[in-house]
Structure 1
Amino acid sequence: MRLRDTESGDPDRDPFRVVNTALDEGVVMIDTAELYGNEELVGRTIAGRRDDVVLASKFGVVLTDSNPEGFEVHADAENVRRSCEASLRRLGTDRIDLYYLHHRSETVPIEETVGAMADLVRQGKIGAIGLSNVTADDLRRAHAVHPVAALQEHWSLAERTVERDLVPAAAELGVTLVAHSPTSHGVLHGAADDAAPADEKQVVLREIATTHGVSAGQLAIAWVHSRGPLHGLDVVPLPGTTRASHVRANVAAQEIVLGPEELRRLTAAWSPTA
């Protein structure tokens, strides 16, 4: 989301190095959106390795000052087609492997949106349909029109709302959960700051991370990895970074194996009701 061309002179922040480090480390999905303003950059970074990438993008959210929320959702069938064509041009590709509706619309029925996306699948312009920032009812209604491959939502130790309705619905329908912001936009990295006051949940995170010799952020990603078997669905953590060194650290988190008691302590400490 924050990937940008940089003139900082820091090779660790070079976007080509960041993306290619991810691919070299075995990451296959690269995720962007028309809203992020970096589709052209992402397209350039993967141009020589397009077949190595599951390329994901999103459409529908337009920033505006006229709406109290700061954005509008354009999810009508015509905009689906127009947005896809524009993203294909910016990405420099003839297909988007996973195409998401970025946010639910209050005015356009999701059946219309997904119906138009299904046409794009049949035309070969997108490979699969995804949804983001939707309700469980939206997911079920959309899936009845065309199979939904992935649901992208915020899921982390610090943000568990998705577990109430969306995770059970995704498990029921066989939809993969792509968990963006598994460190809650860096909040869980901050739990490792020994100079900062710590409450019980931060102490637990620090203790278990220290036991494994990893960072708090890596442990938070490992916790998200652990949710799949527990809830009966595929879970893909989607951490964002602008540094190649952080990419390596994020990838290394998949090797962390948490024991049952460690998972119980982490989950209980960070429970919304704790």
Structure 2
Amino acid sequence: MNQGFGAMRLRDDSADDPDRDPVAVVQAALDAGVMMVDTADAYQNEALVGRAIKGRREEVTLASKFGLVWQAEAAGGFDVRADANYVQHACEASLRRLDVEAIDLYYLHHRSERVPIEETVGAMAGLVRQGKVRSIGLSNVTAADLRRAHAVHPIAALQEQWSLVERGVEQDLLPTAVELGTTVVAHSPNGHGLLHAQPSGAAAGRSQGLSGVLAQVADTHEATPGQVALAWVHHRQEAHGVTVVPIPGTTSIRHLRVNLAAAELSLSSDELHRLDAATG
């Protein structure tokens, strides 16, 4: 199945609810054929993810990220660390928390304004040689960053926000990824939940037309607007000729199954055109 699982919001404090037990949610995803499980040290749940996949490691393409360091006094609440020493330290710490010998896909979580990306990717390539990482990814970067990084070591995956309400990746990053053969991992494919329901307030002004089209297409397929929006991201693979892996996140088994059903939803060329036009 070409749909991953975004683990960002998983927390142990929901374990008392069978539908929201985080280990059960991940296990249900694996049972359904989901292979990629995506986390990060900044999500502060790597140990939880490690427990959830324990005994099923061979079924999982395990992805994690480094580079964001939470600091209340920093702009945006975090700083970026991407120097070579930190890369090594962060990876070893993630391996311990995840309780695995290697991370399948290891991302730089955010571009650094201070450390050249060549230094960061060079250190990440060192992790590959050490057997601690199997492939390298980037997130929150520019097209120029991707090219410079790829010149140092092949970049297997580019993780960026991509949805009907956030299509900035299509401008420069996507053509570069297509050229380099880099898989695009689409996080927040439902626009951080905006596309699951009728928006209100300022969001309604931006998405009113799109909401109507989503509702019409959803009615045709006896689906939800959120499922149609997620299916649209799946169809980007055909539209752009690049491997696309959406990673919707959820904290419930019920919602997980709704997301998985969206992967099987086939939209017509007319429906795709209407959705594209509604976001233009």
CA distance in 2 between partners of 1:80 and 1:200 (Å): 44
Q: Following superposition of structure 1 onto structure 2, how do residues 248-259 of structure 1 map, counting pairs within 5 Å?
A: 248-259=257-268
Distance 1:243 1:139 in 2: 34
Structure 1 Cα separation of the partners of residues 154 and 98 of structure 2: 25
The secondary structure found in structure 1 opposite 2:12 is coil
Indicate if the aligned counterparts of 1:31 and 1:56 stay in contact, CA closer than 8 A: yes
Aligned partner of 1:228 in structure 2 is 237
Report what 1:32 is aligned to.
39
Q: What CA distance in whole angstroms lies between the structure 2 residues aligned with 1:224 and 1:130?
A: 20
1:150 and 2:153 matched = no
Letter in structure 1 aligned against 2:221: H
Unmatched runs of 5 consecutive residues or more in structure 1:
none
Tell me the TM-score normalised to structure 1 length: 0.95
CA-based RMSD of the aligned residues comes to: 1.5
SS in structure 2 at match of 1:152: strand
The 3-state SS of whatever aligns with 1:128 is strand
Q: The residue matched to 1:223 in structure 2 has which SS?
A: helix
1:15 Cα deviation after fit:
0.7
102 and 143 in structure 1: CA distance in 2 versus 1, 3 angstrom threshold: same
Deviation at residue 264 of structure 1 after TM alignment:
0.2
Aligned to 2:247: 238
CA distance in 2, matches of 1:131, 1:173: 13
Q: Which runs of 4+ in 1 moved over 6 A?
A: none
Shift of 1:66: 2.6
CA contact (8 A) 2:14 2:22 kept: no
Map 1:172-251 onto structure 2 (within 5 A). Answer: 172-191=179-198, 199-251=208-260
| Counterpart in the other structure of 1:91 | 98
Identity %, equivalent residues? 62
Matched letter for residue 81 of structure 1: Q
Q: Is the 8 A contact 1:191 1:205 kept in 2?
A: no
TM-score (norm 2): 0.93
2:14/2:20 contact within 8 Å kept? no
Q: Is the 8 A contact 1:192 1:206 kept in 2?
A: no
Question: Which residue in the other structure is 1:168 paired with?
Answer: 175
Aligned residue identity for 2:168: T
Rounded Cα–Cα distance in structure 1 between residues aligned with 2:162 and 2:212 = 21
Question: Would the alpha carbon gap of residues 233 and 65 (structure 1) be closer, same or farther in structure 2, given more than 3 Å must change?
Answer: same
Judging changes above 3 Å, is the alpha-carbon distance between structure 1 residues 41 and 140 closer, same or farther for their aligned structure 2 residues? same
Residue 192 of structure 1 deviates from its aligned partner by 8.2
1:261 corresponds, among 247, 270, 280, to: 270
Separation (CA, whole Å) in 2 of partners of 1:210 and 1:52: 35
Number of equivalences: 269
Q: What CA distance in whole angstroms lies between the structure 1 residues aligned with 2:268 and 2:198? A: 21
